[in-house]
Chain A
Amino acid sequence: MKKTPRTLFEKIWDQHIVFQKDDYPAVLYIDAHLIHEVTSPQAFNGLKNRGINVFRTHRTWATMDHNVPTIDQDKPIQEEMSRKQVAMLQKNCDEFGISLYGLGHPNQGIVHIIGPELGITKPGMTIVCGDSHTSTHGAFGTISFGIGTSEVEQVLASQSILQYKPKTMNIKIDGKLGKGVTSKDIILYIIAKISTAGGTGHFVEYSGSAINNLSMEARMTICNMSIEMGARGGMIAPDEITFAYIKGRPFAPKGKEWEKALAYWKTLKSDKDAIYDKELFIDATDIEPMITYGTNPAMGMKITETIPTENDMENENQRHNFRDAMEYMGLQGGKPLLGQKVDYVFLGSCTNSRIEDYRSIAKIVKGKKKPEGLTVFVVPGSAHIVKQIEKEGLDRIFIDAGFEMRSAGCSACLGMNDDKIPPGKYCISTSNRNFQGRQGPGARTFLASPITAAATAITGRVSDVRDFIK
């Protein structure tokens, strides 16, 4: 009998089911669990209250990223509650025997940057973390998704999690990307097209020639923002680009083990006739450099377009939300964003803080200088990336341009630590969310690609990066 064709998602899912009872959620085995200081303390408290240990300590890795300062990381954290939260992670990891890459450790960094960087993230795995951007790891052909703290406790206690099987969705992007168009523009384009709920209940696979031609780092940017369209996660089938990226990393298999792993990884792709619950086809040549104008990631447009107006909205609820967003942003429908003055530029976050991002930014800003009164933060995703930036001399280019170099952390992406955008100020950001108050109370965010942000950092006004590329 012919086997039913399956998608990549279904293959990995099926392979990780420990137990499945009718009407009950699946008990799904988790290969790698990443934790950080903000969403783990209550889970450890749960274990203590139950009087149990972490079930598989070698499958959990911890780092400090959300609630840490990005200057003076070698000194005690000034703010008391942050200091206590970070100390709590240290204590819990010591007590329960979990590897921690804390402040000052050479492997420290944003949780979704260090997983791939260290080779923890490998094709075919299930990976979870108490952070919605866990979808990043899907770029390696994994099932990776964000979870709540009760679920963090489930994984610590049993290395398994209760999950309902999501539906599958294929987003196929074929064609050649135009000048100045990056993977960030691809994902902002998709989200603008299908809304912040367009992927809810689904696990997305990205495919097509435009995806296959991307580097691993660019693929991670796309998978990272899957959650911004509501998707449970996003994934890309592994290929030679994936294998080359993993080879030689600290947690990558070596020697004979590598050969065995590679043979398995090569089987990880959707069957030709596999059926997805939903499909979306996109012509890569239709994508241009993108920017958001509103207060959710789906409120985005091509950078040369004008902001929509109330008349473009479908119903009264949407008009109400649009008015609210425009009031918050201090913008007007029907106007362009090109030329809009910005006060801050944030070059960081788990979406775009990898070495390739900084190389592309350096190309744009080399030999140029930011205008007076503009603040530009460069916040690399990990301590290793900080070192690499220095090794390649990119830090000199940034410092000469008047940018501020910081240490690794989530920084101004989420307005939790000291790095915040002041009320009413405009920030062009390489991060993932433009929600009200996301970058600080009253902060106004434009999401864009690293090179669009770089061009804007040089002019102080929202700029079309294509004018900066020969």
Chain B
Amino acid sequence: MKIMQKQKLTKIISTAIPLRMENVDTDQIIPARFLKATTREGFGLNIFRDWRYDPDGNPKPHFVLNHPQYAGEILLAGHNFGCGSSREHAAWALSDYGFKAVVSSFFADIFKNNALNNSLLPVQVTPDFLQLLFAAVHENHKTKIVIDVDKQTISVPSKKISEAFDINPYKKICIMNGYDDVDYLLSLKPEIEEFEKKRKNDYSLS
């Protein structure tokens, strides 16, 4: 059995791309017609496909990913990011495009899990702080944002603003050390087998 080591993530210092839309669903992040691949790679090519390109494949100049001045490893997004379909391809697409963190005032549950399972950090901040981040990036697209996973803080040094964010202690260990959930579960096989034995005569298990 091979132990899977993932990329370790401890600190992100980067400019950000501001996407003000609320309720961004995973069908927008990666439309279903691009889910036909059987590997995890390459989905970044079609990220936000129908917002980024017109039907003839020409870039739509007003969409923020097509603005030449915006770049970076952090996506700033409106409330309720990642709602809808459970497709993990959405997290893969964001990672593949080069994002290491998504910052929003609210995330949909399944997306949040999927992101954490791919070392893509979902950073939930207060709505007020999110507005400060949007304002700082709109004022100066070169604004650097610092996300410290260990300290659980997100800050903008040039603006002297900072906020703490939550991350589950288990997931924090995984992300900082590149640990993998499946390896953890496989280490618990004796417990799982014991559980199965105990419940042998239980009808919810049949």
Q: Which residues of A contact B (CB under 8 A)?
A: 12, 15, 18-19, 23-25, 27, 29, 31, 38-39, 41-42, 45-46, 49-52, 55, 66-67, 81-82, 84-85, 88, 122-125, 130-132, 134, 146-151, 153-154, 157-160, 162, 164, 166, 196-197, 200-201, 227-228, 230, 232, 253, 257, 260-261, 264-265, 296, 317-318, 320-321, 324, 414-416, 423, 433, 435-438, 441-442
Known: A147-B110, A197-B106, A261-B203. A25 touches B168 (CB 8 A): yes
Chain B residue numbers with a CB within 8 Å of A261 are 203, 206
Name the CB-closest residue of A to B111.
Answer: A148
Between B55, B84, B109, the greatest number of chain A beta carbons within 10 A of the residue's beta carbon is seen for: B109
Instruction: Using CB atoms, name the residue of chain B closest to A86.
Output: B36
Q: Which stretch in B9-17, B37-45, B139-147, B154-162 binds the other chain?
A: B37-45
**CB-CB under 8 A for A158 and B33, given A433-B27, A436-B50:** no
Contact in complex: A415, B23 (CB < 8 Å): no
Q: Does B153 contact A (CB under 8 A)?
A: no
Q: Which B positions have Cβ atoms within 8 angstroms of A?
A: 1-2, 4, 20-23, 25, 27-28, 31-33, 35-40, 50, 55, 78-80, 83-89, 91, 106, 108-110, 113-114, 117-118, 168-170, 181-182, 184-186, 188-189, 191-192, 195-196, 199, 202-206
The 9 closest A-B pairs by CB, nearest first: A124-B204, A148-B88, A41-B38, A416-B32, A148-B114, A150-B117, A146-B86, A81-B36, A132-B86
- Given the contacts A50-B4, A154-B182, A436 and B88 also touching, CB distance less than 8 Å: no
Alpha-carbon gap, A437 to B184, bound state (A):
38
Is the Cβ of B188 less than 8 Å from the Cβ of A321? no
Contact yes or no, A324 B204, CB < 8 A: no
A-B contact pairs, 13 of them (CB 8 A): A19-B195, A24-B170, A52-B186, A88-B38, A130-B88, A131-B85, A132-B85, A134-B86, A158-B189, A317-B78, A433-B84, A436-B50, A441-B33
Q: Which residues of B contact A164 (CB under 8 A)?
A: 168
Among B37, B50, B55, B192, which residue has its beta carbon within 8 angstroms of that of A18?
Answer: B192
Decide: A158 near B188, CB < 8 A? Known: A232-B109, A435-B27, A441-B50. Answer: yes
Q: When A150-B181, A437-B31 are in contact, do A122 and B204 touch as well, CB less than 8 Å?
A: yes
- A196 vs B109: C-alpha distance in the bound complex, in angstroms? 12
Bound state CA distance, A321 and B24, in angstroms? 10
Write out the residue numbers on chain B whose beta carbons fall within 8 Å of the beta carbon of A46: 4, 182
CA–CA, A148 and B22, complex, Å: 22
Whether A131 lies near B86 (C-beta < 8 A) is yes
CA gap between A227 and B87 in the complex, in Å: 13
Cα distance, A438 to B87, chains bound together (Å): 13
Smallest CB separation, A425 vs chain B (Å)? 13
A154 touches B114 (CB 8 A): no
Pick from B113, B168, B184 the residue with the most CB of A within 10 Å.
B113
List the B side residues contacting A55 at CB < 8 Å: 189, 192
The answer to whether B1 touches A150, judged by C-beta atoms less than 8 angstroms apart, is no
B84 CB contacts on chain A under 8 angstroms: 132, 227-228, 433, 435
Q: Please give the distance in Å from A263's CB to the nearest CB on chain B.
A: 8
Least distance between A194 CB and chain B CB atoms (Å): 12
Nearest to B80 among chain A residues (CB) is A197
B contact residues around A232 at 8 Å (CB): 109
Q: Is A435 within 8 A of B25, CB to CB?
A: yes
B204 close to A123 (CB less than 8 A): yes
Q: Are B182 and A153 in contact (CB under 8 A)?
A: yes
